[in-house]
Amino acid sequence: MQFDDDVFDTIERLNAAPDDSQILGLLRQFSLSVGYEHFIVSGLPPRGVNVEPFVLAADWPAEWYDRYFSRDYTQFDPVARHCFHTTTPFLWDEAPFDADDAYAKQVMNEAADCRLSGGFCVPVHTEDGSQGCVSFGGQEKSLDPNKKLATHLVAMYAHGRLRALRRPYQFSPAELTPREAEVLRWLSHGKTTEDIGELLGISHNTVFFHIKSAGKKLGTLNRVHLVAEALRYNMIPL
């Protein structure tokens, strides 16, 4: 994976943002930069539980926001439901649902009527075992690989930052070892497992071991989330 300087600049600004409103503004700028007009950052409760109290930040069209929550569309929304089954970001069109599922089709069709015909969703699985997502929407239906990667990292970081502002003392990760921090620093600079092994003079298996160990300490399930959390906790430099 490889991140450009604009991504780290956005993360630095998110880190310095003192409140939700500034984070909302920064996410709005970033969302537009990758081609999406709208976004939502939220936790995802089990079926039957109202999702609106779990929303951390939102810039949806007002009509869609009101309709989605008043009709409890979360339980039918294939994008939201898919987040419980994957840690991999996906385009909305990639969210599976039964072709005969009239409710799922209704949600997707009504979203399109509200200028949300396409989107990109980043599932979030947190250290306390709960689920969430950051979903970007608009007229764009695809993203190039670099924008997908940038959006993945910024989304994970923003979700963690917003949760930290709401519950700043909930989670205190164990400290990384110097070697783990060094491995993650190179990982954040786009180096592969093989690259890092060669740079540090250690085996690829040892690099993988350090990444896995750091992931357990930070409660993450993939490498982009791991980098985002390590940055958020100031364990590696921006």
CA–CA separation, 41 vs 61, rounded Å? 14
Does residue 1 have a pLDDT over 70?
no
- Looking at every residue in the chain, the average pLDDT score rounds to 90
Q: Report the phi/psi class of residue 227: left, alpha or beta, with left for phi > 0 and alpha for psi in -120 to 50.
A: alpha
142-168 residue pLDDT tens: 899 999 999 999 999 999 999 888 875
Q: What are 138's strand-pairing partners? A: 118
**DSSP 8-class letter at 101:** -
CB 153 within 8 A of CB 227: yes
pLDDT digit string, tens, across residues 177-217: 999 999 999 998 888 999 999 999 999 999 999 999 999 88
pLDDT higher than 90, residue 89: yes
Determine the Cα–Cα distance for residues 223 and 215; give it in Å rounded to an integer. 8
Res. 2 pLDDT band, cuts 50 70 90: low
**Which run of H or E residues covers position 124?**
strand 118-125
Least confident of 3-12, 75-84, 105-114: 3-12
Task: Name the fold adopted by 178-232.
Answer: Arc Repressor Mutant, subunit A (1.10.10)
Output the pLDDT for position 64: 96
Give yes or no for a contact between 63 and 115, defined as CB atoms under 8 angstroms apart: no
User: Does domain 5-166 bear CATH number 3.10.450.50?
Assistant: no
Residue bearing the bigger pLDDT, 237 or 109: 109
Q: Is 46's pLDDT higher than 90?
A: no
pLDDT of 170 higher than 80 = no
Tell me where in the chain the CATH 3.30.450.80 domain(s) lie.
5-166
60 burial via Cβ count (<10 Å: 0-12, 13-18, 19+): buried
Query: CA-to-CA distance for 66 and 78, rounded, in angstroms?
Result: 18
Q: Where in the chain is the domain with CATH 1.10.10.10?
A: 178-232
pLDDT surpassing 60 at residue 169: no
| Whole-structure pTM value | 0.84
